Amino acid sequence: MKPKNMDKADFITSIFLVIFGLVIFLISIRMPTFRNLGANLYSAPGIVPTMLGLIIFILGMTLFFRSVARKGYKIDYSLNSIKKILIKRPIQRFLIALFLSLSSVFLLGKVDYFLLTGGYIFIFILAYELDIKKSILKQKAKIVFSLAEAILIAGSIALVFRYLFLVRLP
Amino acid sequence: MLQGLTELGQQLLGFLTIRYIFDILWSTQLGIIVGMLPGLTATMGVALMTTLTYKFTTDHAVLILICMYIGAIFGGSRTAILINIPGTPANAATTVDGYPLARQGRAGEAMGIATTGSFLGSLFGMVMLAVFTPIIGNAALNFYSFEYFWLTIFGIIICGTLTAPKDPLKGWIAGFFGLFVATIGMEGMHAYRRFTFGNIDLGGGIALLPAMIGVFGFSEVLITMKQPAIKIVSRKIEKVIPHPREILKYWSTIIRSGFIGTVIGAIPGVGEDIGAWVSYDFAKKASKQPEEYGKGSIEGVLAAETGNNAAVAGAIIPVLSLGIPGSAPAAVLLGAMIIHGIRPGPLLMIEHPDFVIQVVAMFFLATCAMFILGLMLIRVFIKILLIPRQRLMPVIFSLCVIGAYALSSRIFDIWVMAVFGLIGYVMKEMDYPVAPAVLGIILGDLLDKNLRRSLILTKGNIIPLFTRPISFILVLLIVFTIVSRMKFFEQTTSFFKNRLRLLLRGRVH
């Protein structure tokens, strides 16, 4: 990330950290002390989170003032700027990987493990290798090879974990 | 001394069975492959291997994990030399001179030197591990709650400072965020559920391994897919095995880098990458040919690789003696030891008196395997680098999923892995080091219990927290570490340095 963009990112992060630290602090001081049960006041479960909330708040404030001093608050959040980011090739590559991976996690336990893992690997490879401008028939070899890899890998993982490590697959 | 050597010999003999040798060879080789592949780190390798070995016996599992760890830290030098991308962060310093050597057609020579440096660094670290673990362990028996509390804070601060040298503030934020994550779930004194918001799964807390697999595995998958594809500059490997004279010429660099690597590795959470950079920097300053550094210096490659592999042993010293990891892979190793019923820390020497010497023996065998495999199979395994990332990364993610799930068979752990993968990705993109966060997750429980114990002992009086001798030293170190990174301190020291220089030149009267 460029230094200018980093200052903007720091500005947003600092606001998040300040709120995060405050929330931790407020939740922690409301935690029970168990004195009514005869427990020592200093064994209260909220002591350490209160301290951590305060420290995160202070560090967040430090980051906030620093980013303000570096003019990190000048954020361009127009629709155009977001579009510009989204059409960048690295961002698209990242979003494809993120979408496919999170979808597979979401489907775990709902679809058979072997099918899901095989399907995930197969779609993942094709998402990056398949050229949409070319006809599918011309890319037969790629598809067959990807399918073979997906079946082989998903089968190996399922078999090894199920029968060698005795893990009940999700 | 003689008794120690006899014990080491006995332990080594115990490991010399076909089954153990086979396991040493495959796990070290797998470690080298993991280290070689950009996007796969030593931490990820050790974490995934922990899930694969959790049904093995303790010595078997720890042996495989140590082999994986040493192999991976070494394996990263291959990619650093051939494609200018460190296979693991520990090999970043190797790229500075390794890649220029490859461009000069001396890739084989560079890899041979890197292998020898890694071997010697590991051996040096191993000796330090054998000598210093019992000493530090015995000293740590004098640590009470007060000292452990400050040791935890010191670990977070120093780790944050060293892993984010440009912006230590981000390192500290990452560390305290990790400490907070550790407070989620049921706490140990009253069984009170903190920050669970009624979620039963969160009641058990955030498990270390799924979080680490996410931070070091899933986030790397996302980062690797975002970056452009890599190209190998040189696949021609000629001379690999270096002449002993070439190595002996740099004996002082080897000893210096081994020492620096081990010491840096032993600092909580700092790790092999800093060990390599500091060793490299010292070697450059002490070199007779500093102008060659950055253009393909053999000495530079040797210093970096000796430093990072010595740091592996260094990182294990606090694991065994204090129960505090020196690096991220060492943190996973610590978790694996706990899973297998070993409680690392000052009581380890009492509860399992043979364990430290057993680890030293494992370390020696793994180092030898790394050296032999590293020199023999360079040409064969270099081909692995040709696997396209879009074919490798989904396999890695699938292993991350099953690895996070295997320990407790909970879908919740897979979500923990995914969430921490995203957190890790954001942190890396925004220059927040992830090592302090991981250290925080590990040390959180230690901090929580020891601060509350201290306050109970002193009836809420915080003065003893500062006045006990060891605590006082730790507080001073923490304050110095923080203040030394502040602008006014840097300005004041540079002002006095300039005055002193002028004074020595006789310009100020």
Over residues B371-396, the mean pLDDT reads 81
User: Within its chain, how far is the Cα of A117 from the centroid?
Assistant: 19
- Helix axis angle, B389-406 relative to B219-226, nearest 10°? 170
Q: pTM score, two decimals?
A: 0.83
B378 neighbors B240 (Cβ within 8 angstroms): yes
Q: Hey, is the C-beta of A6 within 8 angstroms of any chain B C-beta? A: yes
Torsion sign (Cα): A124, A169, B418, B268: negative
Interchain contact, A43 vs B456, CB within 8 Å = yes
| Pick among A22, A48, A94 to test the B interface (most B CBs inside 10 A) | A48
With 60 as the cut, is the pLDDT of residue B508 above it?
Answer: no
Query: A109: closest CA among A18, A167, A170?
Result: A170
Q: Is B25 exposed, middle or buried (0-12, 13-18, 19+ CB in 10 A)?
A: middle
Residue A154 with chain B: CB contacts under 8 Å: 398
B253 neighbors B283 (Cβ within 8 angstroms): yes
Query: B329: closest CA among B30, B42, B35?
Result: B42
| DSSP, res A111 | B
- Between CA B310 and CA B124 the distance in angstroms is 6
DSSP letters for B118-162 = HHHHHHHHHHHHHHHHHHHHHHHTT--HHHHHHHHHHHHHHHHHH
Find residues 456-485 of chain B whose CB sits inside 8 Å of chain A.
456, 459-460
Closest by Cβ to B194, choosing from A31, A97, A168 = A31
Q: Hey, is the C-beta of A124 within 8 angstroms of any chain B C-beta? A: yes
Q: Hey, is the C-beta of A39 within 8 angstroms of any chain B C-beta? A: yes
Q: Nearest chain A Cα to B417, which residue? A: A105
- Between CA B294 and CA B122 the distance in angstroms is 24
pLDDT digits (tens, 9 = 90+) for A15-49: 999 999 999 999 999 999 888 888 888 899 999 99
Give the pairing of strands B185-186 and B193-194: antiparallel
Interchain contact, B399 vs A157, CB within 8 Å = yes
Query: B143: closest CA among B347, B327, B440, B325?
Result: B347
Closest by Cβ to B398, choosing from A46, A120, A166 = A120
Element (H, E) at B475: helix B469-483
How far CA A81 is from CA of A75, A77, B425, B472, in Å, comes to 10, 6, 22, 52
Q: Hey, is the C-beta of A137 within 8 angstroms of any chain B C-beta? A: no
Interchain contact, A125 vs B391, CB within 8 Å = yes
- Helix axis angle, B42-53 relative to B18-36, nearest 10°? 140
3-class DSSP state for residue A25? helix
B24 neighbors B14 (Cβ within 8 angstroms): no
pLDDT digits (tens, 9 = 90+) for B63-114: 999 999 999 999 988 888 887 777 788 888 898 888 888 888 888 888 899 9
Predicted confidence band at B234 (pLDDT cuts at 50, 70, 90)? low
Least confident of A10-14, B44-48, B148-152: B44-48
Query: B177: closest CA among A56, A152, A96?
Result: A56
Q: Hey, is the C-beta of B19 within 8 angstroms of any chain A C-beta? A: no
**Complex prediction ipTM:** 0.92
pLDDT digits (tens, 9 = 90+) for A44-63: 999 999 999 999 999 999 99
pLDDT digits (tens, 9 = 90+) for B12-52: 888 889 999 999 999 999 999 888 877 678 888 898 888 88
